[in-house]
């Protein structure tokens, strides 16, 4: 079983600790804590509600906190995650932070621009941006494919499925 850590643990050596996993444990405790806090602000349900609106929240929140603590303990005891594998995944190399950050930036740009420019434009930008971030070297082809995809999908939804996606600044042009 491969793990994301770069060096395999040697026999007799101190067990390797995946420190990033403390982050996940903390996230669970925080999420659970917020669910509990949110539940505490809920009022009594109506008379015909045998299950109080906060009942399930309390259970889920408390267990999330517990799971976070358990994961923290497991991590401290040297538990290592078994990362997902797949056809295109090579776990022998470290995490490529740059590519992920670029992709996230492309997605954020799409969120920021979609109301102004409309899907037909941001969709193409999204496709081209993502291919470039992932290391494509065929810019011209990607632009052509991206434009075809975004304009094509806009029409497919509008005409084919009857779902009117807002056109943005191209309103009246498309």
Partner 1 sequence: MDLLLEGFQQALTPTNLLFACLGVILGTAVGVLPGIGPAMALALLLPVTYSVGPDSAIIMFAGVYYGGMYGGSTTSILLNTPGESSSVVTAIEGNKMAKKGRAAQALATAAIGSFVAGTIGTVLLWILTPRVSDLVVKLGAPSYFALMLLAFIAVTTALGSSKLRGFIALFLGLAIGLVGTQTGQARLTFGEAKLADGIDIVVVAVAIFAVGEALWVAAHLRRKPLEIIPVGQPWMGREDWKRSWKPWLRGTAFGFPFGALPAGGAEVPTFLSYLTEKKLSKHPEEFGKGAIEGVAGPEAANNASAAGTLLPLLTLGLPTTATAAIMLSALTSYGIQPGPLLLDNEPGLVWALLASLIIANALLLVINLPLAPLWAKLLRIPRPQLYAGILFFACLGAYSVNFQAFDLVLLLSFGVLGFAMRRFGVPVLPLIVGVILGPKMEAQLTEALAISSGDVSTLWSEPVAVVVYVVIAILLAAVAVNGLRRPAAPEPIGPEVEDEKELVER
Query: Binders of partner 1 among 28-57, rule CB under 8 A?
Result: 28, 31-32, 34-35, 38-39, 42-43, 45-46, 48-51, 53, 56-57
CA distance 150 to 146: 6
Structure token digits, residue 103 = 């992709």
Cβ 1 to partner 1, closest distance in Å? Answer: 5
Q: Which residue pairs, CB below 8 angstroms and at least 24 apart, start in 9-13?
A: none
Q: How far is CA 90 from CA 3, 84, 87, 130, in A?
A: 11, 10, 8, 20
Is residue 169 a contact point for partner 1 (CB under 8 A)?
no
Is residue 171 a contact point for partner 1 (CB under 8 A)?
no
Is residue 163 a contact point for partner 1 (CB under 8 A)?
yes
Structure token digits, residue 8 = 């395999």
* Closest to 78 in 3D by CA, of 11, 14, 7, 12: 14
Cβ 127 to partner 1, closest distance in Å? Answer: 5
Q: Which residue has the tokens 């770069």?
A: 6
The residue from 30, 73, 144, 169 that contacts partner 1 (CB under 8 A) is: 73
Let me know how long the chain is: 174
Is residue 5 a contact point for partner 1 (CB under 8 A)?
no
Q: Under rule CB under 8 A, which residues in 119-138 are in contact with partner 1?
A: 119, 123, 126-128, 130-136
Number of residues this chain uses to bind partner 1 (CB under 8 A) = 90
Cβ 10 to partner 1, closest distance in Å? Answer: 13
CA distance 112 to 149: 20
Q: Which is nearer to partner 1, 85 or 169 (CB)?
A: 85
Is residue 72 a contact point for partner 1 (CB under 8 A)?
no
């Amino acid at each position: 079983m491969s793990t994301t850590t770069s060096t395999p643990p040697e026999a007799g050596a101190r067990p390797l600790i995946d420190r990033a996993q403390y982050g996940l444990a903390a996230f669970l405790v925080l999420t659970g804590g917020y669910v509990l806090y949110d539940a505490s602000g809920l009022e009594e349900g109506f008379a015909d509600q045998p299950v109080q609106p906060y009942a399930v929240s309390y259970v889920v929140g408390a267990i999330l906190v517990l799971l976070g603590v358990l994961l923290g303990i497991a991590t401290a005891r040297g538990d290592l995650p078994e990362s997902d594998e797949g056809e295109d995944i090579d776990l022998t190399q470290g995490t490529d932070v740059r590519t992920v950050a670029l992709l996230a930036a492309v997605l954020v740009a799409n969120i920021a621009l979609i109301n102004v420019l409309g899907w037909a434009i941001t969709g193409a930008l999204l496709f081209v941006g993502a291919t470039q971030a992932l290391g494509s070297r065929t810019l011209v082809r990607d632009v052509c494919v991206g434009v075809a995809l975004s304009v094509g999908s806009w029409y497919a939804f509008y005409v084919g499925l009857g779902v009117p996606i807002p056109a943005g600044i191209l309103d009246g042009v498309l």
